[in-house]
């Protein structure tokens, strides 16, 4: 069986890994390098119950548990997984902490804090390290090429047209994040849109504790903003800014420096030690108008599958998405969870 996965991000990598767990190999086609998009630049925050009131809830719960099990597997020991306490903190210019408790290192103008998650139901992982670990432990070949089209004959997929030629396949998975739209639009499926989110990585001091901090940032003569702060076990702190809509670039490494500069200013208001910048970056998050990811068979084309549109929960939901998709491809049905809410549909 020849399986081709279009996309070397965390969804494609998880799919390749779970295929290998069933002794099936795959070819992964990646335009740049593995995890060069959102999979390598996301925060890696994991929450078990934050999606419970939505149809994606069972997927999130299942995948949260899978992250924990992966962390106990020696093959994934270097992916910086750990449980976290999670806080909501309001930062207001000219103020100091009035109520609630926050870590000592968060020495900015905090006026209020509350606990919104604990080590029982929130955690983190390093997305780039996890994506590479999936691929390193998969029986797959990674090919550097641009996916141009899906080759279909008599209602069945027969290959993938790339910048390097046609790659024959019996089954194909489209998992290219927001770039999946290039193929989904040709197939007349629901459109996959992109939201850009910038982030900055700082060097951390040893006193930084394992907390995820969701900040309500208020500054005079400026609108409120909502940066997210994730200290990591590797001695860095990841801080993300807000998303913006922008045309999808050919190169996922494109950023707006002024957006990163603004994150750096907010970072100083949150913690005076956040001065040593290691990296500025942006990720492009895939989303669908329904608010649900697309996971499943493409209608009317045998052997063609899609897995994209996970928005900000792509890292959380990658393990379960990959395993569920593999069950669907190899067994004809998914026993892990009900994929019906995520069934790819034609655009209206």
pLDDT digits (tens, 9 = 90+) for 181-233: 999 999 999 999 999 999 999 999 888 999 999 999 887 666 778 899 999 99
* 50 half-sphere exposure, CB direction, 13 A CA radius: 17
Rounded to the nearest integer, the mean pLDDT of the chain is: 93
264 lies in a domain? Answer: yes
Residues 60 and 160 in one domain: yes
Residues 167 and 24 in one domain: yes
- In 3D space, the residue among 280, 279, 286, 289 whose CA is nearest the CA of residue 248 turns out to be 286
Confidence (pLDDT) at 94:
63
Rounded distance between C-alpha atoms, residue 111 and residue 95, angstroms: 6
pLDDT, mean of residues 94-102: 64
Residues 298 and 283 in one domain: no
pLDDT at 282 over 70: yes
Residues 203 and 250 in one domain: yes
Residues 14 and 159 in one domain: yes
Rounded distance between C-alpha atoms, residue 112 and residue 213, angstroms: 12
Rounded distance between C-alpha atoms, residue 340 and residue 347, angstroms: 17
pLDDT at 97 over 90: no
Rounded distance between C-alpha atoms, residue 292 and residue 55, angstroms: 8
What is the span of the domain harbouring residue 44? 3-76+125-191+289-342
Buried b (16+ CB within 10 A) or exposed e, 54-93: eebebbbbbbbebbeebbeeeebeebbbebbbbbbbbbbe
Contact 283, 201 (CB under 8 A): no
Confidence (pLDDT) at 99:
57
153 lies in a domain? Answer: yes
Residues 101 and 24 in one domain: no
Q: For the segment 219-263, what is each residue's pLDDT rounded down to a tens digit?
A: 766 677 889 999 999 999 999 998 887 777 777 677 788 889 999
Residues 206 and 260 in one domain: yes
Distance (Å) of CA 327 to CA 242, 248, 343: 36, 32, 15
Confidence (pLDDT) at 205:
84
Rounded distance between C-alpha atoms, residue 292 and residue 295, angstroms: 9
Confidence (pLDDT) at 342:
98
Residues 248 and 147 in one domain: no
pLDDT, mean of residues 331-345: 96
Contacts of 5 (CB under 8 A, 6+ apart): 12, 15, 16, 26, 27, 28, 29, 140, 172, 173, 175
Instruction: Identify the residue whose tokens are 């995948």.
Output: 63
348 lies in a domain? Answer: no
Q: For the segment 7-39, what is each residue's pLDDT rounded down to a tens digit?
A: 999 999 999 999 999 999 999 999 999 999 999
Confidence (pLDDT) at 222:
67
Residues 64 and 185 in one domain: yes
DSSP three-state, residue 107: coil
In degrees rounded to 5, what are phi and psi of residue 85?
-90, 140
Residues 167 and 36 in one domain: yes
Distance (Å) of CA 137 to CA 17, 72, 121, 317: 6, 15, 27, 19
pLDDT, mean of residues 47-73: 98
Confidence (pLDDT) at 139:
81
Q: For the segment 300-323, what is each residue's pLDDT rounded down to a tens digit?
A: 999 999 999 999 999 999 999 999
Contact 207, 39 (CB under 8 A): no
Q: For the segment 161-187, what is each residue's pLDDT rounded down to a tens digit?
A: 999 999 999 999 999 999 999 999 999
Residues 111 and 152 in one domain: no
Q: How many distinct structural domains can be found in the chain?
A: 2
Confidence (pLDDT) at 348:
67
CATH number at residue 326: 3.50.50.60
How many Cβ atoms from other residues are within 10 Å of residue 11's Cβ? Answer: 35
Confidence (pLDDT) at 334:
98
144 lies in a domain? Answer: yes
Confidence (pLDDT) at 244:
80
204 lies in a domain? Answer: yes
- The residue from 242, 269, 287 where one domain ends is 287
CA angle 306, 308, 309 (to 5 degrees): 140
Rounded distance between C-alpha atoms, residue 142 and residue 5, angstroms: 9
Confidence (pLDDT) at 95:
63
Rounded distance between C-alpha atoms, residue 206 and residue 329, angstroms: 46
Residues 23 and 165 in one domain: yes
pLDDT, mean of residues 277-292: 95
Are β-strands 192-203 and 277-288 bridged in parallel, bridged antiparallel, or unpaired?
antiparallel
Distance (Å) of CA 19 to CA 36, 49, 74, 180, 263: 22, 28, 19, 21, 39
pLDDT, mean of residues 268-286: 93
347 lies in a domain? Answer: no
Q: What is the DSSP letter of 196?
A: E
């Amino acid at each position: 069986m020849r399986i081709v996965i279009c996309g070397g991000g965390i969804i494609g990598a998880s799919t390749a890994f779970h295929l290998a767990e069933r002794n099936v190999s795959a070819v992964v086609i990646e335009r740049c390098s593995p995890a060069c998009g959102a999979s390598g630049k996301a925060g890696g925050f994991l929450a078990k119950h934050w999606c419970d009131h939505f149809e994606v809830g069972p997927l999130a719960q299942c995948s949260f548990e899978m992250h924990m099990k992966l962390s106990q597997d020696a093959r994934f020991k270097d992916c910086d997984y750990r449980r976290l306490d999670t806080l909501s903190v309001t930062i207001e210019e000219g103020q100091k902490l009035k109520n609630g408790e926050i870590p000592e290192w968060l020495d900015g103008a905090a006026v209020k804090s509350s606990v919104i998650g604990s080590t029982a139901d929130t955690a983190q992982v390093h997305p780039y390290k996890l994506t590479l670990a999936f691929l390193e432990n998969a029986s797959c070949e990674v090919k550097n090429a641009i996916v141009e089209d899906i080759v279909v004959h008599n209602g069945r997929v027969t290959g993938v047209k790339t910048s390097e030629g046609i790659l024959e396949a019996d089954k194909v998975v489209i998992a290219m994040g927001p770039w999946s739209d290039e193929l989904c639009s040709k197939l007349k499926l629901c459109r996959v849109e992109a939201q850009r989110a910038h982030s900055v990585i700082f060097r951390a001091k040893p006193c930084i504790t394992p907390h995820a901090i969701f900040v309500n940032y208020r500054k005079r003569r400026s609108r409120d903003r909502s940066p997210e702060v994730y200290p990591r076990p590797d001695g860095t702190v990841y801080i993300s800014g807000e998303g913006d809509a922008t045309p999808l670039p050919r190169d996922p490494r494109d950023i707006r420096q002024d957006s990163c500069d603004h994150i750096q200013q907010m970072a100083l208001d949150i913690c005076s030690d956040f001065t040593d910048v290691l990296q500025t970056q942006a990720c492009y998050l895939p989303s669908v108008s329904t608010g649900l990811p697309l996971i499943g068979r493409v209608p009317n084309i045998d052997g063609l599958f899609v897995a994209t549109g996970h928005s900000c929960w792509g890292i959380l939901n990658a393990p379960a998405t990959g395993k569920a998709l593999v069950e669907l491809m190899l067994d004809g049905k998914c026993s892990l969870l009900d994929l019906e809410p995520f069934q790819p549909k034609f655009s209206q």
